[in-house]
Amino acid sequence: MKTLTPERPVETHSENLTPEAELRVSRPGLRDWLDLRLGWWGFVRKNLDEPMPPGVGWWQTLGNLLLTLLIFQFVTGVALAMFYSPSPDHAHQSVKHLTENVPFGSFVRGLHVWGSSAIVIVTVLHTLRVFFWGSYKKPRELTWVAGVIIFNVVLAFSFTGYLLPWDQKAYWATVVGTRIAATVPFVGDALLHLIRGGPEVGALTLTRFYAIHIMLLPAALVFLVALHLYLVRRHHIAGPVMPQKGRPVAFYPTQLFKDAVVLLFGVGIVITLALALPPGLEAIADPTGTDFSPRPEWYFLGLYELLKIMPPGWEVVATVIVPGLVTVGMFLLPWLDRSESRHPARRQWVIVTGMLIILMIGLMTLKGLLETPPAGH
Amino acid sequence: MCAVDHSKNGEGQQVEQPERRKLLAWAVGLINGALLLAVFGPVVGFVTSPLRQRRTGSWIPIANAEELPSGMMKEVTFTVRVQDGFMAADRKYTLYLRRDADEVIALDPACTHLGCRVRYQPDRNRFLCPCHGGVFDEAGKVVSGPPPKPLERTPVKVEEGQIWVYREA
């Protein structure tokens, strides 16, 4: 074994040692001591020196932004969980308390609420970038598949987290959202019972959603993100669609600086929103109310609108078939797209189909934003 | 690894016996499978227990029969003591009551499309769903929109001057 770090090689053989290196071996400093055991610096160095193909730039910063937002979401989530009580008797009260009485409570909750929307937006942008650049092609198929699962986990986070404040908005959105499960043929009612923990949205729905939100999904996400990052590094970052002239540049510092600028911008927006538009809290959930109009989170509005145009008896098309086909299509994309080239012009049917789907989702979401009244009385 | 676990080849090196290796691999798989089953079986049974929960029901008086003249629609909210998971709770429910000649009907305001609460519009004698625009008539039948079936009717009876509904909890 010869080197400890590229910058500070530590000789472990006695011959040819400088007095300084000999001292480091016999009486290592903390950094050397740790590094001999962890090999950490070599790992960091390898990642910092990762070669970026020419043409890689701002579009490749979205992954880092997403990772950072997820870490912040984890941190604010842990903090919120310290003040939250997942029981219908106390959930609303605890959220009200942490928002209004605990120092920085409104800000921390604001970061979590706005962060969830930001994560959805950045996940979509990151996915679109990979889609249009054709970066999912061999040998990166499984990197894409892991990403698609992460996308679905992000949506599951949003759905389960929405109920936790136990206010009118949360309760009724969950009543409607879980009811979607009942439209699944044959097993719909059983599925609805299983998700709710009973026939109605109640105490067991809240504990179920809480457990999934703070335990199951984070565990799944950590595993999936680790797998995704491992695969990204294993296969290296896919360069531009058409190879560009020039030499690869190390990730550090050029690309990392771009990442930092985008982080400053992206996280800055979330912080600004958390300060300028602190999260609200409706009245406590009231199952008797007949005058409350539910409204899902904005990124589920497209699906909500699709349900509006389905004729009676065809709900399953909007609740299962269309979302199911889109999800399965995303999973299978690397194998559906058989073209050798990553260039959009040489894989026209994939690009056209993708754009039509994106357009449909965008239009339905816009229609929902414009036509669905805000949640309230 | 113990020396007796291996045979030796001509050069004195220890060689694993393939049959023994296979047997041990099976044993490891069996032990892990049994442990997984021992833990995951009960966990799955625990998580899916609501599916096997038996529901009980009872008749509950919710209004005086005199308060409901013929042809009138009345929104009634009542409280039922229910076991909600780990807690007993006084849960409120709402029903729309309507008397037609001698018959009283009780309609659940949950829209049969996706469960939003419908609102009764007395001037139009219609129930409207605020979510996806479903419209029901005063008997709960679908007039327009995406709802696949009429509003659910709760079993109802009139006894001792009271209107009773049967509620499962």
| A274-285 mean pLDDT | 95
A86-108 pLDDT, tens per residue? 999 999 999 999 999 999 999 99
In chain B, where does DSSP find H-type helix? 18-47
CB A65 within 8 Å of CB A262: yes
What pLDDT does A19 receive? 79
Confidence of residue A17 (pLDDT cuts 50, 70, 90): confident
Alpha carbon A244 to its chain centroid, in Å, reads: 31
- On the question of a cis peptide bond just before residue B61, with omega within 30 degrees of 0, the verdict is no
Tokens of A336: 């559906």
Nearest to A204 among B50, B94, B142 (CB): B50
Point out the residue among B91, B92, B116 whose CB comes nearest to the CB of A294: B116
Q: How confident is the model at residue A174 (pLDDT cuts 50, 70, 90)?
A: very high
Confidence of residue A377 (pLDDT cuts 50, 70, 90): low
What does the pLDDT read at residue A11? 45
Contact A201, A178 (CB under 8 A): yes
3-state secondary structure of B81: strand
Q: Which two tokens stand for residue B107?
A: 């309609």
Best CATH choice for the domain B57-168 from the list 3.40.50.300, 3.40.50.620, 1.20.950.20, 2.102.10.10: 2.102.10.10
pLDDT at B9: 63
Q: Which residue has the tokens 């949360």?
A: A170
| φ, ψ of residue B79 in degrees (nearest 5) | -115, 135
Closest approach of A355 to chain B, Cα-based (Å) = 27
Contact (CB<8Å) A198/B109: no
The stretch A102-130 carries a mean pLDDT of 97
Cα separation of A238 and A51, whole Å?
A: 11
pLDDT, mean of residues A179-184:
90
Please state, in angstroms and rounded to a whole number, the distance separating the CA atoms of residues B74 and B117: 15
Q: Does the beta-carbon distance from A198 to B89 stay under 8 Å? A: no
Q: Which chain B residue is nearest to residue A191, measuring alpha carbons?
A: B51
Q: Return the top range by mean pLDDT from A1-10, A77-86, A308-317, B63-72.
A: A77-86
Which regions of chain B are under pLDDT 70?
1-15, 169
CB atoms A198 and B85 under 8 Å = yes
The structure tokens listed for A39 are 């090999």
The string of pLDDT tens digits covering residues A315-346 is: 899 999 999 999 999 999 999 999 989 999 99
Range A203-212 average pLDDT: 97
Count Cβ atoms below 10 Å from residue A356 Cβ, excluding itself: 10
Q: What's the confidence (pLDDT) of residue A361?
A: 95
pLDDT band of A214, cuts 50, 70, 90: very high
The closest CB to that of A89, out of B87, B92, B119, belongs to B87
Contact residues of A toward B, CB < 8 A: 87-89, 172, 175-176, 179-180, 190, 193-194, 196-200, 202-204, 207, 286-294, 304, 307-315, 373
Residue of B nearest to A309 (CA): B146
pLDDT of res. B2: 46
**pLDDT exceeds 50 at position A5:** no
Looking at the partner chain, which of A190, A207, A314 has a beta carbon nearest the beta carbon of B85? A207
- For B40, the token pair is 């995951």
Average pLDDT over residues A47-72: 95
Read off the pLDDT of residues A345-362 as tens digits, 9 standing for 90 and up: 999 999 999 999 999 999
DSSP code of B31? Answer: H
pLDDT > 70 in chain A, percent:
95
H or E element in which residue A325 lies: helix A322-336
Instruction: Test A179 with B114 for CB contact under 8 angstroms.
Output: yes
Angle at Cα B72 formed by Cα B66 and Cα B75, nearest 5°?
Answer: 85
Domain boundaries, chain B: 4-52, 57-168
Contact A198 B50 (CB under 8 A): yes
Question: How many Cβ pairs closer than 8 A exist between chain A and B?
Answer: 97
Report pLDDT for A32: 84
C-alpha span between A311 and A304 (Å, rounded): 14
CA distance A90 to A74: 23
User: What rounded mean pLDDT belongs to chain A?
Assistant: 91
Interface probe with A: pick from B117, B120, B128, B168, most Cβ of A within 10 Å: B117
pLDDT of residue A6: 45
